[in-house]
Structure 1
Amino acid sequence: MNAEAADQLRLLDLQALDSKLDQLAHRRRTLPKLAELQTLDIRLGQLRDVHAVSAAADSDLVREQTKAEADVDQVRARAERDRNLLESGRGSAKDLENLQHELESLAKRQAALEDVVLEVMEKVESSAKRTAKLAADRSGVESERGRVAHELAGEQSGLDKDSVFTQGQRDLTAAKIPADLLALYEKLRAQYNGVAAAPIVRRRCQACQIELDISEANAAKAAAPDVILRHDSCRRILVRTADSGL
């Protein structure tokens, strides 16, 4: 394939723009705040799960406290009824004696149940504090995530603007290159990590950084200006410039 020297030089401009686009895309994929945001999302997910479990435990403990208090109220009511019966003096001596024994048992039962209430109340208070702390931690992480997401969006927007501008320049440059030469360039770019054309600088290929041997250098020097050169080592298109040293 042959192409005018000016078109070959445009390949270098196109390669520079494509390399810049690749760099911008890589920078966008590897922005530090992306990893920071991912870490915060993981932490936030963990806090949400733990907070939900803690809140559910709060509800269970409140129900347990309500039941324990209802048990105490029930025993108190039974004791009050027995006390009223005992004070009324109605019934046989045996019945009154049984009421007295029952009141003693109910007093013990009430004391035990009140201990249970106090124990559950302590658990409720402790669990509520834990849940409040988790809620505060979650709120803090959510706030931090919002800040990081906002800063990330700003960085991405800046890179996107650079990419759109560079893509516009790229399209204009590509439009000036002959179709067959452009097709070869695109094919090689796909094959060789996005680098299809490189200048020869002081007899060295700038794509693979391997110096041309004597036969390659002589062949490049002797070739007509419109001949498309390919490097034997890396197979990229070699473009001759004023700095080639040939």
Structure 2
Amino acid sequence: MNAAPADQIRLLDVQSLDVRLQQLAHKRKSLPEHAEIESLNKDLTQLRDLLVAAQTEESDCGREQTKAEQDVDLVRQRATRDQQRLDSGAASPRDLENLQRELVSLAKRQGDLEEIVLEVMERRESVQAHVAELTERVSAVQAKTDDATTRRDAAQSELDAEAASVTKERELVAGSVPADLLKLYEKLREQQGGVGAARLYQRKCEGCHIELNITELNDVRAAARDAVVRCENCRRILVRTAESGL
């Protein structure tokens, strides 16, 4: 294949722009905010699970407290009725004696239930404090996540804008390269990890960074100026310049 030396030089410009696009894509993928957000999201998930568990426990305590308070009210109402009957004296001595015994029993029962209410209330207050603490921690981590997301989005937007500019420039430069030469370059670039053309600088291929031996150099020297030569080591297009050392 033949191509004017100037077209081959422009191919290096295309290669340079392609490398820049690769760098931008890698930088976008490797933004530190990605790892930061991932870590924060893990923390957020764990905290939210703990918060849900704590809220469930608080709700259970609330129902337990309500039930205990209702039991106290039932005993208190029963004791009030018994006391009223006892005070009225409208019962046989045996019934009055039974009422007195029942009032003693109800008083003990009420005391036991009130102790249960106090214990549940203390436990519920502790759980409520834990819920408040977890809620605050969730809010704090969420704020950090939002901040990291904002920073990541801003960095991505900046990189995307630069990539769009480089892509436009690449289209213009590539449009001035002969189609057959560009096709070969694209094929090699796909095969060779994103580098399809390399400069021959000081007798060394800048694609594989291997210095050409004397036989290879003589072959390159003997090639016509418009001949598209390839590196014998990496098979990339080898572009000759005034600094090739030929």
TM-score using structure 2 length: 0.98
**Residue 202 (structure 1) aligns with:** 202
* Secondary structure of 1:225 counterpart: coil
Q: Would you identify which runs of 4 or more consecutive aligned residues in structure 1 move more than 2 Å?
A: none
What corresponds to 1:80 in structure 2?
A: 80
Alignment-derived partner of residue 216 in structure 1: 216
Match of 1:38 in 2: 38
Question: Percentage identity across aligned positions?
Answer: 52
Separation in 1, partners of 2:235, 2:83? 106
Could you tell me how far apart the structure 2 residues matched to 1:97 and 1:193 are?
101
Q: Which moved more, 1:95-104 or 1:41-50?
A: 41-50
- Amino acid aligned to 2:207: A
Q: Which residue does the alignment assign to 1:177?
A: 177
After TM superposition, the structure 1 = structure 2 runs for residues 1-246 of structure 1, keeping only pairs within 5 Å, are: 1-246=1-246
Aligned-residue offset at 1:104: 1.0
Distance 2:146 2:178 in 1: 49
One-letter amino acid of the counterpart of residue 179, structure 1: A
Structure 1 position 45, deviation (Å): 1.8
- Distance apart, 1:53 and its partner CA: 1.8
How far residue 56 of structure 1 moved from its aligned partner, in angstroms, is 1.7
Distance 1:11 1:234 in 2: 17
Give aligned pairs, total: 246
**Following the alignment from structure 2 to structure 1, what is the Cα–Cα distance between the partners of residues 234 and 101?**
103
Cα distance, 1:121 vs. partner?
Answer: 0.2
The offset of 1:173, in angstroms, is: 0.5
User: 3-state SS of the aligned residue for 2:200?
Assistant: strand
* 3-state DSSP of counterpart to 1:120: helix
CA drift at 1:170: 0.3
Unpaired runs of 5+ in structure 1?
none
Q: Describe the superposition over 1:6-33 as per-residue Cα deviations: whole angstroms up to 9, x where unpaired.
A: 1111110000000000000000000001
SS of the counterpart of 1:242? Answer: coil
- Residue deviations 1:119-153 (CA, integer Å, cap 9, x gap): 10011100100000011001111111111111111
2-side partners of 1:234 and 1:83: how far apart?
105
SS at match of 2:198: strand
CA distance, structure 2, for counterparts of residue 215 and residue 36 of structure 1: 54
CA distance in 1, matches of 2:19, 2:192: 12
Q: What is the aligned-residue RMSD (CA, Å)? A: 0.9
Which 5+ residue runs of structure 2 have no aligned equivalent? none
